[in-house]
Structure formats: structure tokens, C-alpha cells
């Protein structure tokens, strides 16, 4: 049973389809408004998740004080200006100060913020801030490299251009050697995966 919110959403999709010259009653499009509603529920699921709760659900005491890096985290987001895809990868590192977090929680936090309407610069900052707040580490570094379909599919139509953004906190911002180590690691080839 559809609620009023879903009915309104589906009506808006039909209006959009008509405005671009389509017939929402055409056989192939009859279920499109419902499919779009379900897709948007997933794509924008980040609004319903709390990154702090995710990080704190798997935080452990540790004597480790060396960099922890998870690189090449795939991300899919949506440009808040055009509602077109942003496709990229994130590299996230932190230096523990008495506690570490389960490794799977870092990509989950990337997903929480990616699954919202975004600009890349804000996305990068939000990930860094969430980790700083939840773990209080000695430092956090986040780099995102992404392609923006609003630049490729429309406007300037620059195919394969990549935008890189970074957010550095604590030792990654203050200490040149720590920062250099991070950038060397994220730019190093993966090599043998096992």
C-alpha cells in the first residue's frame, strides 16, 4: 500500500516525464514512477543513518598509534545542483589515540554521506569531521577523486575530468612527514593483492 508521500513522489515523476516530452502512460513507463521512488529511497538512504552511531558501534581500545588507511573506497553520490551522479573513490586514514574502529565502519561512513545530495567538497569535510568527532584521533585525512556527470553529460561536457578534494585534520595537517606518507600510500600501486 502506497502512502501519500510515495503517491506525491510518483505524481511528480509523471509530471517530469511529461515535461521532457514522454508519455507516462506508455507501456514501458507505467511502473517507472514506482521504480524511481524505490531507487531514490536507496540512493538517498544516507539521510536516515547516523555516522556517529555507526562509528561508535565498533570502537575498541588499542595501543596502536600508527596510520590506519583504507583506500579506493568506491562511492556514488548525487550532485545537489543537477541531481546527476558523482562517481569516485575515497581514501580515508586516521592515526589512533587510544582507540580504533572496525575497518568496515569507515566505508559505511563514506556511504552515509555519499547517499545524500552533495557537493564533493562538503562530502570530504563531513567524512573527516565525523571520524574526528567519534574517535578523537591524532589526525584524519580524507581524499576524494571523482567524476561529475553534471560536467560530463551536460554543460562543458568534459569527459573523464576528475575532481580531487582533501580534508586534513590534526597530524595530517600539522606534520609534513605524516602528510607525505599518506599521499605516498594512496598513490602507490596496489601490487600483489594477496
Q: Which of 7, 25, 81, 133 is catalytic?
A: 81
String of b and e for 65-85 (b: at least 16 CB within 10 Å)? eebbbbbebebebbbeeeebb
Q: Is 91 considered catalytic here? A: no
Which H or E run includes 4? helix 4-19
Catalytic entry in 10, 91, 118, 120: 120
HSE value, Cβ hemisphere, 13 Å, CA-based, for 47: 9
Q: Which of 10, 91, 118, 148 is catalytic?
A: 148
Strand order in the sheet with 139-148: 117-118, 68-79, 85-95, 139-148, 163-170
Which of 79, 91, 118, 126 is the catalytic position? 79
Q: Has 129 been annotated as catalytic? A: no
**List of residues 6+ apart from 154 with CB closer than 8 A:** 82, 84
Which one of the listed residues 82, 122, 145, 181 is annotated catalytic? 82
Read off the C-alpha cell for 98: 587510544
| Selected catalytic residue, list 80, 125, 152, 181 | 80
Quick check: is 81 catalytic?
A: yes
Kindly name the residue from 49, 150, 152, 181 that is annotated as catalytic. Answer: 150
Task: Answer yes or no: 82 catalytic.
Answer: yes
Residue 79 appears among annotated catalytic residues: yes
From first CA to last CA, the distance across the chain in angstroms is 49
- The catalytic residue positions are 79-82, 120, 148, 150
Amino acid at each position: 500500500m502506497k502512502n501519500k508521500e510515495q503517491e506525491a513522489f510518483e505524481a511528480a515523476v509523471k509530471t517530469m516525464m511529461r515535461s521532457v516530452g514522454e508519455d507516462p502512460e506508455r507501456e514501458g513507463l507505467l511502473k517507472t514512477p514506482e521504480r524511481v521512488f524505490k531507487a531514490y529511497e536507496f540512493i538517498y538512504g544516507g539521510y536516515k543513518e547516523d555516522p556517529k552511531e555507526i562509528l561508535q558501534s565498533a570502537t575498541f581500545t588499542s595501543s596502536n598509534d600508527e596510520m590506519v588507511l583504507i583506500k579506493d573506497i568506491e562511492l556514488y553520490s548525487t550532485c545537489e545542483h543537477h541531481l546527476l551522479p558523482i562517481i569516485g573513490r575515497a581514501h580515508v586514514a586516521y592515526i589512533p589515540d587510544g582507540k580504533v574502529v572496525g575497518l568496515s565502519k569507515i566505508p559505511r561512513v563514506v556511504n552515509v554521506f555519499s547517499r545524500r545530495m552533495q557537493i564533493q567538497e562538503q562530502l570530504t569535510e563531513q567524512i573527516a569531521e565525523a571520524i574526528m568527532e567519534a574517535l578523537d584521533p591524532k589526525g584524519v585525512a580524507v581524499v576524494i577523486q571523482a567524476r561529475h556527470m553534471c560536467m560530463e553529460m551536460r554543460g562543458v561536457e568534459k569527459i573523464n575530468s576528475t575532481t580531487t578534494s582533501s580534508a586534513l585534520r590534526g597530524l595530517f595537517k600539522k606534520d609534513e612527514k605524516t602528510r607525505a606518507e599518506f599521499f605516498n600510500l594512496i598513490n602507490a600501486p596496489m601490487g600483489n593483492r594477496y
